[in-house]
Amino acid sequence: MTLIEIALIVFILGVFSLVLRTVVVTVRDNTERATARARLTYIQRQVNLYAIEQGHYPPDLDALVAAGYLPCIPEVAVGRHPPSSGVIVGSAPFAAAPVDAGGWYYYPVEGSVHIACTHRDARGVEVWKW
């Protein structure tokens, strides 16, 4: 085997490795996004159900758990944030005061739930806007 053949094999392995890494990262991001969005939709629906049945939005997401609307606050893992079920209860609409702490952001005046992340996903959309 000549030096050129060895260099060609190393090059091909390098390209293959790069493609494989890109595929793995894309699949992981898509799974993470789908899970986070499903959980966000679920929590938002439970907040809305609570509001319909109780006549007001819950003061925080723990109130949903206490009243039996959620078994627990689910974790959310997006981007570089570690999985978290933490909730920031905001006193301002999220759009006016973005936070990038990971976990959930809840605005009780409007009963709106967001993911507390201002990073952009692979499609360029800011995560809190999902």
- Contacts to Zn ion by CB under 5 A: 79, 100, 117, 119
Contact 64, 70 (CB under 8 A): yes
Which is closer to Zn ion, CB of 23 or CB of 122?
122
45 vs 69: CA distance, rounded Å: 10
Whole-number minimum distance, CB 88 to Zn ion, in Å? 13
Find where tokens 């090059």 sit. 11
Q: How far is the CB of 65 from Zn ion (least distance, A)?
A: 25
**In whole angstroms, what is the distance from residue 89 CA to residue 62 CA?**
10
Which tokens in the block code for residue 32? 């993470």
Query: What are the respective helix, strand and coil percentages of the chain, to the nearest 5?
Result: 50, 10, 40
Give the residue nearest to Zn ion (CB). Answer: 117
Helix (H) or strand (E) segment spanning residue 31: helix 3-54
Closest CB 104 distance from Zn ion, rounded Å: 13
Please identify, using beta-carbon distances, which residue of 37 and 119 lies nearer to Zn ion. Answer: 119
CB 106, min distance to Zn ion, A: 17
Q: Quick one: 61 or 115, whose CB is closer to Zn ion?
A: 115
Between 79 and 90, name the residue whose CB sits nearer to Zn ion: 79
